[in-house]
Amino acid sequence: MPQAEGLILPFDGNDKIRKDYLETIDFDGKPQLIAYSTDEFSAVCPFSGLPDIATVVIKYIPD
């Protein structure tokens, strides 16, 4: 069975986010919805070992 490999980043809540992993830029514009979508996401399912292929959509309003 295939094994997942690489960096594992568990989500333990907003207070545990590693801000040193994030790159930020200053935003001085008016509030607007930013949307990013990609269908180039793939991973190995930790339960079956089969490939998982998905579309990832990120939407946010910078402040």
Instruction: Reply yes or no on whether 45 is catalytic.
Output: yes
Q: List Cβ neighbours of 50 (8 Å cut-off, separation of 6 or more).
A: 2, 44
Which residue is catalytic, options 12, 20, 52, 63?
52
Q: What is the pTM of this model?
A: 0.48
In whole numbers, what is the pLDDT of the chain averaged over residues? 84
Which residue is catalytic, options 26, 28, 45, 63?
45
Encode pLDDT of 1-10 as tens digits. 566 566 666 7
Number of domains in the chain: 1
Q: Whole domain around residue 34: which residue ranges?
A: 14-60
Residue 28 binned pLDDT confidence (cut-offs 50, 70, 90)? confident
Alpha carbons 52 and 46: distance in angstroms, whole number = 10
**Res. 56: pLDDT tops 90:** yes
Instruction: Reply yes or no on whether 26 is catalytic.
Output: no
Q: Is residue 33 part of a domain?
A: yes
Q: Is residue 22 part of a domain?
A: yes
Q: Are 56 and 38 in contact (CB under 8 A)?
A: yes
**Side-chain-side CA neighbours of residue 5 (13 Å):** 3
Distances (CA, A) of 58 to 2, 38, 47: 28, 9, 25
Encode pLDDT of 44-54 as tens digits. 887 777 888 99
Q: Is residue 1 part of a domain?
A: no
pLDDT of residue 26: 85
